[in-house]
Amino acid sequence: MKLPVTVLAASLIQIVTTGEAIAGSSNADQTKPNFILIVADDLGFADLSLNGSKQIPTPHIDRLAQEGVNFTQGYVSSPVCAPSRAGLMTGKNQVRFGFDNNLTPENQPGFDPDFKGLPLSEKTIADLLKPLGYVSGLVGKWHLGYATHHHPLNRGFDEFWGYQGGGHDYFRSEPDGVGYLSPIESNYKTPQPITYLTDDKGDECVDFIRRHKDQPFFLFASFNAPHGPMQATEDDLELFKHIENVRRRTYCAMVHRLDVNVGRIMETLKEEGLEENTLVVFISDNGGPCNQNASINAPLNGQKGILLEGGIRVPFIMKYKGQLPEGKTIHHPVISLDFAPTFLELAGRRLVEEDDFDGVNLMPYLTGQVKEAPHENLFWRFTISAAIRDGDWKLVRLPDRLPMLYNLAKDISEQNDVALLNLGRTLNMLKQLGEWDVTLPHPLFFEGAEWKKRQVDLYDREYQLIQPD
Amino acid sequence: MKLPVTVLAASLIQIVTTGEAIAGSSNADQTKPNFILIVADDLGFADLSLNGSKQIPTPHIDRLAQEGVNFTQGYVSSPVCAPSRAGLMTGKNQVRFGFDNNLTPENQPGFDPDFKGLPLSEKTIADLLKPLGYVSGLVGKWHLGYATHHHPLNRGFDEFWGYQGGGHDYFRSEPDGVGYLSPIESNYKTPQPITYLTDDKGDECVDFIRRHKDQPFFLFASFNAPHGPMQATEDDLELFKHIENVRRRTYCAMVHRLDVNVGRIMETLKEEGLEENTLVVFISDNGGPCNQNASINAPLNGQKGILLEGGIRVPFIMKYKGQLPEGKTIHHPVISLDFAPTFLELAGRRLVEEDDFDGVNLMPYLTGQVKEAPHENLFWRFTISAAIRDGDWKLVRLPDRLPMLYNLAKDISEQNDVALLNLGRTLNMLKQLGEWDVTLPHPLFFEGAEWKKRQVDLYDREYQLIQPD
Is the confidence at residue A125, as pLDDT, over 60?
A: yes
**Cα separations (Å) of B211 from A214, B44, B138, B204, B218?**
87, 33, 14, 10, 12
Going by pLDDT thresholds of 50, 70 and 90, the confidence category of residue A109 is confident
Helices B423-437/A450-462 angle, 10° precision: 140
Least confident window among A1-10, A399-408, B48-57: A1-10
Is the confidence at residue A349, as pLDDT, over 90?
A: yes
The residues of B assigned a catalytic role are 81, 143
pLDDT of A103 = 85
How far, in Å, CA of A181 to CA of A190, rounded?
17
Residue A235 and residue A260 in contact, taking contact as beta carbons nearer than 8 Å: no
Q: What percentage of chain B reaches a pLDDT higher than 90?
A: 83
Count of residues making up chain B: 469
Whether residue A399 and residue B401 make contact (CB cut-off 8 A), yes or no, is no
Residues of chain B in contact with residue A446, where contact means CB-CB under 8 angstroms, are 442
Helices A5-18/A339-346 angle, 10° precision: 120
How far, in Å, CA of B97 to CA of B91, rounded?
12
Q: Could you say which DSSP state residue B68 is in?
A: S
Whether residue B147 lies within 8 A of chain A, CB to CB, comes out as no
Residues of chain B in contact with residue A452, where contact means CB-CB under 8 angstroms, are 437-439
State whether the Cα torsion B38-B44-B50-B54 is positive or negative.
negative
Average pLDDT over residues A267-279: 97
- Bridge partners (DSSP) of residue A217 are A135
Is the confidence at residue B445, as pLDDT, over 70?
A: yes
Nearest chain A CA: its distance from B374 CA (Å)? 24
Residues of chain B with CATH 3.40.720.10: 5-366
Chains A & B: contacts with CB separation below 8 Å: 134
Whether residue A401 lies within 8 A of chain B, CB to CB, comes out as yes
Any residues with CB less than 8 A from the CB of B457 and at least 6 apart, and which?
Answer: none
Terminal Cα-to-Cα distance of chain A (whole angstroms): 80
**Cα separations (Å) of B234 from A49, B224, B263?**
84, 19, 20
Least confident window among A99-103, A158-162, B11-15, B118-122: B11-15
The upper half-sphere exposure of residue B82, i.e. CA atoms within 13 Å in the direction of its Cβ, equals 24
Residue B331 and residue B72 in contact, taking contact as beta carbons nearer than 8 Å: yes
Interface test with B, best of A115, A398, A437, A442 (most B CBs within 10 A): A442
Between B365 and B448, the higher pLDDT residue:
B365
Between A161 and B25, the higher pLDDT residue:
A161
Average pLDDT over residues B440-447: 80
Whether residue B107 lies within 8 A of chain A, CB to CB, comes out as no
Whether residue B435 and residue A397 make contact (CB cut-off 8 A), yes or no, is no
How far, in Å, CA of A49 to CA of A56, rounded?
6
Average pLDDT over residues B228-243: 98
The upper half-sphere exposure of residue A334, i.e. CA atoms within 13 Å in the direction of its Cβ, equals 31
Going by pLDDT thresholds of 50, 70 and 90, the confidence category of residue A441 is confident
Between B322 and A442, the higher pLDDT residue:
B322
Whether residue B433 and residue A111 make contact (CB cut-off 8 A), yes or no, is no
Going by pLDDT thresholds of 50, 70 and 90, the confidence category of residue A16 is very low
Q: Could you say which DSSP state residue A145 is in?
A: B
Average pLDDT over residues B391-416: 97
Nearest chain A CA: its distance from B268 CA (Å)? 44
Whether residue B400 and residue A115 make contact (CB cut-off 8 A), yes or no, is no
Residues of chain B in contact with residue A101, where contact means CB-CB under 8 angstroms, are none
How far, in Å, CA of A265 to CA of A40, rounded?
14
Nearest chain A CA: its distance from B186 CA (Å)? 30
Chain A residues 429-448 within an 8 A CB cutoff of chain B:
430-431, 433-435, 437-446, 448
Three-state SS for B333? coil
Whether residue B149 lies within 8 A of chain A, CB to CB, comes out as no
* Interval B342-365: pLDDT, tens: 999 999 999 999 999 999 999 999
Written as one string, the DSSP assignment of B292-320 is HH----TTS---TTSSSHHHHB--EEEE-
Terminal Cα-to-Cα distance of chain B (whole angstroms): 80
Is the confidence at residue B16, as pLDDT, over 70?
A: no
Long-range contact set of residues A379-382: C-beta below 8 Å, sequence gap at least 24:
A379/A93, A379/A433, A379/A436, A380/A77, A380/A78, A380/A79, A380/A93, A380/A307, A380/A312, A381/A95, A381/A100, A381/A437, A381/A440, A382/A78, A382/A79, A382/A80, A382/A83, A382/A100, A382/A101, A382/A306, A382/A307, A382/A455
Whether residue B398 lies within 8 A of chain A, CB to CB, comes out as yes
Amino acid code (one letter) for B284: S
A145-174: buried (b, 16+ CB within 10 Å) or exposed (e) per residue? Answer: beeeebbbeebbbbbbbbbbbbbbbbeebe
How many helices (H) does chain B have, and how many strands (E)?
13, 15
Three-state SS for A323? coil
Helix (H) or strand (E) holding B219: strand B217-222
Average pLDDT over residues A56-77: 98
Average pLDDT over residues A97-101: 93
pLDDT of B452 = 77
Going by pLDDT thresholds of 50, 70 and 90, the confidence category of residue A458 is confident
Whether residue A437 and residue B400 make contact (CB cut-off 8 A), yes or no, is yes
Select the residue of B400, B430, B448 nearest A431 (Cβ to Cβ).
B400
How far, in Å, CA of B355 to CA of B340, rounded?
10
Whether residue A147 lies within 8 A of chain B, CB to CB, comes out as no
Chain B residues 372-391 within an 8 A CB cutoff of chain A:
384, 386
Is the confidence at residue B5, as pLDDT, over 70?
A: no
Written as one string, the DSSP assignment of A208-272 is HHHHTTTS-EEEEEE--TTSSS----HHHHHHTTT---HHHHHHHHHHHHHHHHHHHHHHHHHHT
pLDDT of A466 = 39
Q: Which of B145, B129, B131, B187 is nearest to B162 (CA)?
A: B187
Q: Which of A236, A148, A141 is nearest to A180 (CA)?
A: A141
pLDDT of B467 = 39
Average pLDDT over residues A181-204: 96
Is the confidence at residue A18, as pLDDT, over 60?
A: no
Long-range contact set of residues A25-29: C-beta below 8 Å, sequence gap at least 24:
A28/A133, A28/A348, A29/A133, A29/A215, A29/A216
pLDDT of B448 = 65
Is the confidence at residue A430, as pLDDT, over 80?
A: yes
| Nearest chain A residue (CA) to B119 | A110
Helices A81-90/A339-346 angle, 10° precision: 30
Is the confidence at residue A81, as pLDDT, over 50?
A: yes
Amino acid code (one letter) for B199: D
ipTM over 0.90: no
Residues of chain B in contact with residue A98, where contact means CB-CB under 8 angstroms, are 110
pLDDT of B23 = 36
Any residues with CB less than 8 A from the CB of A177 and at least 6 apart, and which?
Answer: A183
Residue B397 and residue B386 in contact, taking contact as beta carbons nearer than 8 Å: yes
Average pLDDT over residues A96-121: 87
Q: Does domain A377-464 have CATH number 3.20.20.70?
A: no
pLDDT of B469 = 38
Amino acid code (one letter) for B316: F
Q: What percentage of chain A reaches a pLDDT higher than 70?
A: 91
Q: Which of A40, A78, A77, A43 is nearest to A451 (CA)?
A: A78
Between B106 and B245, the higher pLDDT residue:
B245
Residues of chain A in contact with residue B437, where contact means CB-CB under 8 angstroms, are 384, 399-400, 452
Average pLDDT over residues A3-13: 36
Is the confidence at residue B251, as pLDDT, over 90?
A: yes
pLDDT of B27 = 33
Is the confidence at residue A107, as pLDDT, over 90?
A: no
* Interval B34-59: pLDDT, tens: 999 999 999 999 999 999 999 999 99
Q: Which of A77, A80, A81, A100 is nearest to A90 (CA)?
A: A77
Average pLDDT over residues A179-203: 96
Least confident window among A260-264, A341-345, A383-387, B282-286: A383-387
Angle at A347 between CA A342 and CA A348, to 5 degrees: 105
Whether residue A468 and residue B115 make contact (CB cut-off 8 A), yes or no, is no
How far, in Å, CA of B443 to CA of B454, rounded?
18
Going by pLDDT thresholds of 50, 70 and 90, the confidence category of residue A459 is confident
Residues of chain B in contact with residue A402, where contact means CB-CB under 8 angstroms, are 402-403, 426-427, 430
**Cα separations (Å) of B64 from B50, B52, B327, B328, B399?**
10, 15, 9, 11, 40
Residues of chain B in contact with residue A423, where contact means CB-CB under 8 angstroms, are 420
Going by pLDDT thresholds of 50, 70 and 90, the confidence category of residue A462 is confident
| Nearest chain A residue (CA) to B96 | A449
Residue B144 and residue B125 in contact, taking contact as beta carbons nearer than 8 Å: no
* Interval B301-335: pLDDT, tens: 999 999 999 999 999 999 999 999 999 999 999 99
Is the confidence at residue B229, as pLDDT, over 90?
A: yes
* Interval A21-51: pLDDT, tens: 333 333 335 679 999 999 999 999 999 999 9
Is the confidence at residue B137, as pLDDT, over 70?
A: yes
Mean pLDDT of chain A: 91
Going by pLDDT thresholds of 50, 70 and 90, the confidence category of residue B6 is very low
pLDDT of A30 = 60
Superfamily per CATH, domain A5-366? Alkaline Phosphatase, subunit A (3.40.720.10)
**Cα separations (Å) of A251 from A79, A200, A256?**
19, 18, 9
Residues of chain A in contact with residue B422, where contact means CB-CB under 8 angstroms, are none
